[in-house]
Each structure stands twice: as C-alpha cells, then as structure tokens.
Amino acid sequence: MRFTAGYTLAVLVGVLGMWVTMEIEDAVLYGRLPLFILLFPDHVLKVLRLTANIMPICLLLALPCALVSLLIMKRRGRQQWWHFVIAGAVCPLLGITALQLLTFGRFFNRSIVFLALELVPTGIFAALVLWFVAFRQREGILR
C-alpha cells in the first residue's frame, strides 16, 4: 500500500516537475514570466487538467525504470535515501532514451540530451518522494 501511494505521488511530482522545468526553460529562452505562477490561474487549471489526463500513461511509462531500480537496490540490499537519489537521476536519462528508441526518434522534436539533463532534478525529487513515503521506515519493501 505504501509503495503504491509513494509511486503514485512520485510520478505526480515528476509530471508537475516536468511542466515547471519546461515553463522555466521557455521563460528563460523567451524572456517572459513562467505561466505556472499565480498570475495565470487559467493556465494552472489547464496544466492540472492535462496532468490528470496523462497520469495513467505516465504511471505506466515510469514503471519499468522504477521496477528495475528497485530490483537492483533489493539485490544489493540498499534502501538509503541517496540510493534513491542516484536512481532518480538516472531514470529520466534512461526513460527518455528508451522512448526515443522505441518511437524511432519521433517522440521529442528537440535534443533529448538537454531535455533529459533538465529533468534530472525532477527525477531526483520524485525518487526522494518515493523513498520518503514508501521506504523510509525499516519495514520497507526492500528489506
């Protein structure tokens, strides 16, 4: 139960972090305020609605990386927070690369290297959320 709640919350944080990262990037490139600040409540509602629509897809897309990371950590007997930081940093890199390979490079129309690197902090934060909710206590799933 805690793993399911932690995983769902981590993916939600990851999706919202992705929106925030892209908005900050657009704000820096185009010299405008990020649209997620409270001056634009209609945009915030659109993003939340879109997030609710894509959450099932994101839950499925993030699952392989999360399961592989958990299996590796379980085999090595690791469940400290910094192990999750490393896994969270690697997940966007592997996930975006795998998605590009599966779609023959048609999924993203910009450089995937920069997009993956921009999402590393979001992956780290999402992994920390998963650790905090699901694995922080000693009776975690990896034990």
pTM (predicted TM-score) = 0.79
Question: Which pLDDT belongs to residue 107?
Answer: 66
Q: Could you say which DSSP state residue 98 is in? A: H
Query: What distance in Å separates the CA atoms of residue 58 and residue 14, rounded to the nearest whole number?
Result: 9
Residues near 7 by Cβ (< 8 Å), separated by ≥ 6? 59, 62, 63, 66, 130, 134
Residue recorded with tokens 């699901």: 134
Across 77-97, b (16+ Cβ under 10 Å) vs e yields eebeeebbbebbbbbbbbbbe
Question: Which pLDDT belongs to residue 108?
Answer: 62
Residues near 21 by Cβ (< 8 Å), separated by ≥ 6? 118, 119, 121, 122
Helix segments in 77-131, DSSP class H: 81-102, 112-118, 120-130
Instruction: Kindly list the distances between the CA atom of residue 105 and the CA atoms of 57, 64, 98, in Å, as whole numbers in the listed order.
Output: 19, 20, 10
Question: Which pLDDT belongs to residue 12?
Answer: 93
pLDDT tens per residue, the chain (143 residues)? 888 999 999 999 999 888 888 888 888 888 887 776 766 677 778 888 888 998 998 888 888 888 888 888 888 877 788 888 988 888 888 877 777 777 776 766 666 677 778 889 999 999 999 999 988 865 445 55
